[in-house]
């Protein structure tokens, strides 16, 4: 009988410590590594409704937006032009790591928009006409 009571007390103490551990783990910074993963990429403020101070590159992973470190909007063309990331959500192949609330990119390749060629050079392109890149 004393053994059973002791066992119950130990189990209750063990369960309490397990709950404390779960809370501690939930408070830890999230770190997720990605290698060659295709994600949504766009302007965090304009397309993903993220809080920020201007137009900043962001990715959306599993429905959550993360601002990007290691690549900026101007690396990928005119953000405010037709097909620019302030006007549309694109796909990107990324390698990097989610650290807390940010995605730290070691590689960021913006994939061609639907209807674009992979090289952007398969049709004639007249540089003398007024347009933005």
Residue labelled with tokens 């990928």: 76
Contact 104, 70 (CB under 8 A): yes
Spell out the per-residue pLDDT of the chain, length 133, in tens.
554 444 444 344 444 433 332 323 343 455 788 899 999 999 999 999 999 999 999 999 999 999 999 999 999 999 999 889 999 999 999 999 999 999 999 999 999 987 554 433 333 333 333 333 3
Q: How far is CA 99 from the centre of its chain?
A: 10
State the Cα–Cα distance between residues 92 and 107, nearest whole angstrom: 10
CATH code reported for the domain at 31-110: 2.40.50
Contact 60, 7 (CB under 8 A): no
**Tokens matching residue 71:** 């690549």
Q: List the domain boundaries for the chain.
A: 31-110
State the Cα–Cα distance between residues 105 and 85, nearest whole angstrom: 17
pTM of the model: 0.64
């Amino acid at each position: 009988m004393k053994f059973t009571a002791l066992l119950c007390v130990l189990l209750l103490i063990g369960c309490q410590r397990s709950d404390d551990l779960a809370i501690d783990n939930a408070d830890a910074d999230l770190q997720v590594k990605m290698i060659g993963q295709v994600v949504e990429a766009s302007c965090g403020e304009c397309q993903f409704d993220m809080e920020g101070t201007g137009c900043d590159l962001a990715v959306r992973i599993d429905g959550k937006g993360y601002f990007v470190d290691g690549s900026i909007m101007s690396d990928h063309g005119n953000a405010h032009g037709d097909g620019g990331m302030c006007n549309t959500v694109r796909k990107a192949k990324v390698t990097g790591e989610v650290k807390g609330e940010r995605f730290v990119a070691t590689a960021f390749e913006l994939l061609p928009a639907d209807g674009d060629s992979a090289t952007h050079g398969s049709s004639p392109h007249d540089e003398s006409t007024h347009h933005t890149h």
